[in-house]
Amino acid sequence: MNSVMRLNSFTGVAYGEKASMVIPTGPVYEEIFLETNLSPEQIKRVSITLNGDEIIVLDGKLMKSLEAYKGMPSIDGFYHIPLADITAKTKNGMRYTALVTEAGDNIILEVEIAPDASGSAPGVVLKGHATVSPAQGVRIVVPQIKKQTMQATSTENEFLDLVSSPLLLVRRMHFLSETVNSLEIHRDYIKVYDTTRAVETMRAKRNRRFWQSGMYHFDPIMRGYFIDELFQTAHTNELKFTVKTDSAVGSIPIIVESVKIVRPDLIK
């Protein structure tokens, strides 16, 4: 069974500072919750670093948007860091993206807090909680949420720089621009995906997903099969995303939710 635990206290909790805590090893972390009186705008950056590698990078607005896209209710005073995705249709699918911890891991959670422009804001309240499940013997995959950026200097733009590997599988990609109207994907010169905003918003509604303002969502696992329908980034020659926009916007940030396989010898 899983349970809920209170995490260690943050240090450095103040406006204009970076609060941090060491996450204890042992359990498998499925979700982490921040309880705070900060607004989304005041949470400038949230990161989880595993043994020196930032595996999660978010901010207050993104945490709210990603949860809203999955149809999860927004609760005032709480922000969710999704590791395991509780919208999966099976227990195995949900746990596939949980963060398994091992003895000797160094795991740091940091929250960058915006300065108090008014000088009269109440003191910062910041606590951490987690949904956990029993320890596993070895970590096979690591959940990741990272940001990349693509250039969009015309109305048809190519993105060739997605971090990719035979061991990297994409859960979702969120293009942070309301001007994106269609997406094509070619793997080794073969078209593997071709759709539009209208088609994808229709498919999202059928699968109880909710598009967010200012975003275009690429969601290969929207049907809830979080193992079988992950998007493979492995390729021989190139993996090309063609993004069409209503106008040139300069650049488009992309939030990439992925899974990195760290023990391929244990994948059945």
Taking the CA of residue 30 as centre, how many other CA atoms within 13 Å lie in the half-sphere pointing to its CB?
21
What are the two backbone dihedrals, phi and then psi, of residue 37, each rounded to the nearest 5 degrees? -100, 10
Instruction: Give me the pLDDT at residue 268, please.
Output: 63
Read off the tokens for 232: 């493979």
- Does residue 5 carry a pLDDT above 90? yes
- Does residue 227 carry a pLDDT above 90? no
Q: What is the mean pLDDT of the chain?
A: 94
Query: What ranges do the domains of the chain cover?
Result: 3-137, 143-266
The listed CATH number (2.60.120.620, 2.60.120.730, 3.40.50.2300, 3.30.465.10) that belongs to domain 143-266: 2.60.120.730
- Mean pLDDT throughout 15-36? 96
The predicted-structure confidence for 135-168, as pLDDT tens digits, reads as follows 988 999 999 999 999 999 999 999 999 999 999 9
- Does residue 196 carry a pLDDT above 80? yes
Return the percentage of the chain with pLDDT > 70, whole number. Answer: 99
Closest CA to 12 of 154, 124, 176, 141: 124
CATH number, span 3-137: 2.60.120.730
- Does residue 39 carry a pLDDT above 90? yes
For residue 146, with 0-12 CB atoms within 10 Å meaning exposed, 13-18 middle and 19 or more buried, which class applies? middle
